[in-house]
Amino acid sequence: MVLSLRLLYPWRHALLAGILLAPLGLRAQSSTCMLVPVALGQRVQAAPLVVEARVASQQTEQTAGGGHISTRSQLEVFKVFKGQLPAGALRVRTAGGTLGLQREESTGTLHLTAGQQGVFFLVADPEAPGEWQAYAGPQGFIAYDLADLSAGDPFVHYPTIGADVQRQVAALAGAAYQEVQANPALAQATQRRAQVLKARQSGTLGTLATPVISGFSPAALIAGASTATTSSLLTINGSGFGNAQGAGYVQFRNANSPGPDSNPTYLQPLPSDYVAWSDNQIQVRVPSYSTTGTPAGTGFVRVVDATGVIATSANVLTVTYALSNLASQASSTAPILPYRPNLISPDGSGGYTLRYAPSFRAVPAAQVAFETALQSWQCRTAMNRTIGAATDIDVAARDNVNVVRFVTAASTGTNVLPAGVLGVTTSYFGGCQYSDGSIEWVVAETDYSYALASSPYPGYTWNFTPNAPAFTEFDFQSVALHEQGHGEQLTHIIDPTAVMNYSISNGQAKRTLSASADIAGGNDVISYSAGYPWCGLPPFVASTSGCALPVELTAFSARYQPGQGTQLSWATASELHSLAFIVESQDDPAAPWQDVARVAAAGSSPTPRQYAHLDARPLAGTRYYRLRQLDQDGTTAYSPVVSVAAEATALAAYPNPAAGTVQLVGPATSAAQVRLFDATGRCVRQAALPLGQGSLALSLAGVPAGLYVVEWRGGPTPLRTRLVVN
């Protein structure tokens, strides 16, 4: 592939994450990622303009000074709940967007797409006079789902648009809403829904070709894997889907704001994620970047046919982890495609160097918690991030400085966190386009910004200590661990055991990475990125340098003893939460590794330990061994490989007695003939071996039980041994 054009532009990928605020003296509540819930009444009161509207068009542009990219969405207004519409167009500015090969996106903040509609809570944009922005970031918009006439924001799912959204907002605003114009899409969806309900009540719905999901496979997938793999490809089986997709679509549960299990919220894949659609089968990729920019999570799957009838699966799809994706187009006429961003080495040392801003250096305890979290990702996934020299820069900007900072009262403009936001991870990306139209994106920089150190939210404080947080505290290490996962290019999932779960509560510490979700996802990112010069830039280098390994292996050796087998010995200086050692071997470097034995480990031990295992199999030639060390949390690590060689001077049969198959090992210096004789001297089985093959798996199928003699003729003197067949 020839590179015809390479333009590298960093862009912003701000990921907001949140912990829920529970009122003092009341119970803790669940929250979405690093967002503290802002009550509906507070949003209505704080926003001078509240409208029901649709995103009619969008324009992306550089902000003043070129530090960021923003998207201006022009709204088509249907209802006004509060305030007066401006004389001109009503435009809302959100962070992020695509501008040529520049890319900036704020995942977890408000992300709008053309055609999306709902209720907006708007305040004046301080950086763009005459324009507006959403109050409280992503909580400043209640999105409508026209498939079932429900609605949702990051914390609440509203079962109905009319009774649960429009009436509540109007009541909180203290007056009936003003209808500016009809909402045709909502009216059509309402009429279609009423027809379906009427047909269902009358019993005539069953006579129609309504969609039914009979099942799907596989049961567990990854969100946002490469389109070149099947790791995200879901096959949905059933009937009544329609011979062509038309206006039909698939829905997955929304991992950013899933709603309650009894009343979940859903999202749709990008059009390019659909691989095949027929009346009885749909193939679609599980998205990490959907039509609303949010990732799919664990939950039921829905198919909505072209007439708006919904089919829901009986089983739950498990999304084990979600890889960050960027939506981009190779040209203005090309489809929108999801791309995986790739790690590179901006610091020239294989990874990313982070620098503490003055606001962060002022809180030493925060640095300890942040670096503890950083070490967890590095030691478990080899994510190469180090802490470098301090910086005087105390803003998040595209400036090639990976800053870690607190947002203080003096912060202004784009460096102010919206109401209800505890932390933001900002990633800046660059793109390059090749002659065939394909695009690569790389992570050029990441900034980490947190709410004011002394008071992340009124009435609450940070817990910087290694102790469990109090009910009135947010655990900073847990928040930092989650945000650093975003910086490693993982996004939200629905899994309470995982750090990248969409929610956490005040008073809760979540400081251990999940092996199946967080660690597996991180390893996926590293293996996908490492070693390749994406966009021709210095490649990312995986590193666990400086990590205190759970098991410190000090020795590992193998010694063959003829007639006995291979004696394996190893030693550890210390162990932490170690479960077992799996001995693996291979006789051919091109062959897969095979498990030989499982040896229990010490668990946690500060003192040296000795281990041994005898592999009784005979050996002719070279055999390779390694140890797979298994931790109690399910993670694994491998020892260096050792080899042992032996030249067979006798014939050995293993196992003996044998049933089904016997492994024969003899000299490999010449071609050989192998024969099996019964007690009467009759040959009951024979085989030939070419030169250099000193072993043979001889089938005993159909050989009666009894005593036999195996003969190996490959030299001047035949070799023989006895074999008992069971």
336 vs 316 pLDDT, higher one: 316
Distance CA 543, CA 563 (A): 43
- CA 460, CA 454: separation in Å to the nearest integer? 9
Reduced to 3 states, what is the DSSP secondary structure of residue 214?
strand
Strands 220-223 and 310-323: parallel
Report yes or no: 502 and 492 within 8 Å, Cβ to Cβ. Answer: yes
pLDDT, mean of residues 603-620: 85
Q: Is the whole-model pTM more than 0.85? A: no
pLDDT digits (tens, 9 = 90+) for 435-460: 888 889 999 999 999 988 666 777 78
500 exposure class (CB count in 10 Å sphere: 0-12, 13-18, 19+): buried
**Could you tell me the two tokens for 541?**
């280098």
Average per-residue pLDDT in the chain?
86
pLDDT at 29: 37
Cα-Cα end-to-end distance for the chain: 60
Q: Count of CB atoms within 10 A of residue 717's CB?
A: 7
Q: Is the pLDDT of residue 21 over 60?
A: no
What is the Cα–Cα distance from 585 to 626, expressed in whole angstroms?
Answer: 6
Write down the pLDDT at residue 257.
Answer: 85
pLDDT at 35 > cutoff 80: no
For 363-387, the pLDDT digits (tens) are 999 999 999 999 999 988 999 999 9
pLDDT of residue 648: 59
Q: What's the pLDDT tens digit per position in 494-545?
A: 999 999 998 888 888 999 889 899 999 999 999 999 999 999 999 999 998 8
Q: Is residue 409 pLDDT above 80, yes or no?
A: no
| pLDDT single digits (tens) 580-602 | 999 999 887 767 889 999 999 98
The region of weakest confidence among 139-143, 292-296, 407-411 is: 407-411
Residue 40 has pLDDT above 60, yes or no: yes
Residue range 348-368: mean pLDDT, rounded: 96
Unique residue bearing structure tokens 């105390």: 394
Domains of the chain and CATH, by start? 30-190 (2.40.50), 212-339 (2.60.40.10), 341-435+446-529 (3.40.390.10), 552-645 (2.60.40.10), 652-725 (2.60.40.10)
Q: How many CB atoms lie within 10 A of CB 486?
A: 28
Question: Shortest CA distance to 122 belongs to which of 46, 69, 181?
Answer: 46
Q: How far apart are CA 144 and CA 112, in angstroms?
A: 12
pLDDT of residue 320: 97
Q: What pLDDT digit, counting tens, does each position of 636-682 carry?
A: 778 878 888 776 567 778 788 888 888 887 776 667 889 999 888 88
Pairwise CA distance, residues 695 & 714, whole Å: 12
Higher pLDDT among residues 196 and 313, named by residue? 313
Percent of the chain with pLDDT over 70: 90
pLDDT band at 30 (very low <50, low <70, confident <90, very high): very low
State the pLDDT confidence band at 410, using cuts at 50, 70 and 90.
Answer: low
Are the CB atoms for 186 and 117 separated by under 8 Å? yes
Q: Do the Cβ atoms of 296 and 288 come closer than 8 Å?
A: yes
Alpha-carbon distance of 35 to 683, in angstroms, equals 78
- pLDDT for 203 equals 66
Average pLDDT over residues 605-634: 84
Which pLDDT tens digit goes with each residue over 268-286? 999 999 999 999 999 999 9
pLDDT of residue 313: 97
Q: Is the pLDDT of residue 259 over 90?
A: no
